[in-house]
Amino acid sequence: MESSARQLIANNRLFIIGTFLLVALNLILIAGSNQGDALVAINKFRTPFWDVFFKVGTHFAEPVAYLGVLLIVTAFSYRKGIFVLVTGILAGVAAGILKAIFAQARPMRWFFDNQEEIWHSLSHFEEAWRSWDPDSSFPSGHTASAFALYSFLALNARQRKFAVSLLCFGLAVIVGFSRMYLLYHFLRDVTAGAVLGLLLGILVYYLQSAAYPRLEWLDRGWLDRLKQGPEESSA
């Protein structure tokens, strides 16, 4: 088991170690600052370009992103496609349970209730992009979903692994940062979401191999059917 874990880390250094370094940096920032300081600092650098960029980027952890990934992945492996869905479900359920347990207020609500002067100083987004929930901040579900999905994809990459891992890590980070930029989550929420997502991605990576290993058709995809000739398809 220990050697398997070492091999997993060695083969996926970019995503796994990158996430741990990011989490370590976040923990240092959290320990050395007050709640909300990171959001206030980020909010000062709002521009129209970054508004659009992060409003689009935050969707890369939502069902539309999973559907896009599902279409691509099932072209090569139905098994991986099934477990992409399992990853999303687990991330949603786990984050939902933790939100209910911790019941922490979203930044908009927290600032208004505890530091109203700072709330008034913030550059607010339009009403459709505001969340006043009093109990759904910790952890960030979007971040957990993103790190779960993209770690699972990075772990499964066989060709062009560095490029795929870099792309996946970048997308996960964009989603996490977007949640702070858009004033939906605190730094602590995003950090916890990243850890949760990575652990779930690794868990599902191992589960996919253990589930129905003898069903060979699961390891084929719809692209294989398109490559078959007329005789093979009708056989």
pLDDT of residue 212: 81
pLDDT of residue 91: 98
CA distance 184 to 186: 7
CA distance 138 to 98: 7
pLDDT of residue 218: 86
Q: Tell me if 12 sits within 8 A of 155, measured CB to CB.
A: yes
Phi-psi region of 36 (alpha: psi -120 to 50; beta: other; left: phi over 0): left
Of 156, 120, 157, 114, give the one whose Cα is nearest residue 137. Answer: 114
CA distance 39 to 223: 45
Q: Tell me if 209 sits within 8 A of 86, measured CB to CB.
A: no
Count CB-CB contacts under 10 A for residue 151: 28
55 vs 47, 104, 171, 232, CA distance in Å?
12, 23, 13, 46
Of 82, 156, 179, 217, give the one whose Cα is nearest residue 164. Answer: 156
What percent of the residues of the chain are helix, what percent strand, and what percent coil, each to the nearest 5?
Answer: 75, 0, 25
3 vs 16, 45, 156, 225, CA distance in Å?
16, 45, 18, 37
3-state DSSP of 144-167: HHHHHHHHHHHHHCCCCHHHHHHH
Over its length of 235 residues, how does the chain's per-residue pLDDT go in tens digits? 667 778 888 889 999 999 999 999 999 999 999 999 999 999 999 999 999 999 999 999 999 999 999 999 999 999 999 999 999 999 999 999 999 999 999 999 999 999 999 999 999 999 999 999 999 999 999 999 999 999 999 999 988 999 999 999 999 999 999 999 999 999 999 999 999 999 999 999 999 988 888 788 888 899 887 776 544 544 4
DSSP 126: P
Q: Which two tokens stand for residue 41?
A: 């600092």
pLDDT of residue 194: 98
Rg over CA atoms, the chain: 20
What pTM value is reported for the model?
0.93
Q: Tell me if 189 sits within 8 A of 138, measured CB to CB.
A: yes
Count CB-CB contacts under 10 A for residue 193: 31
CA distance 103 to 46: 28
pLDDT of residue 234: 47
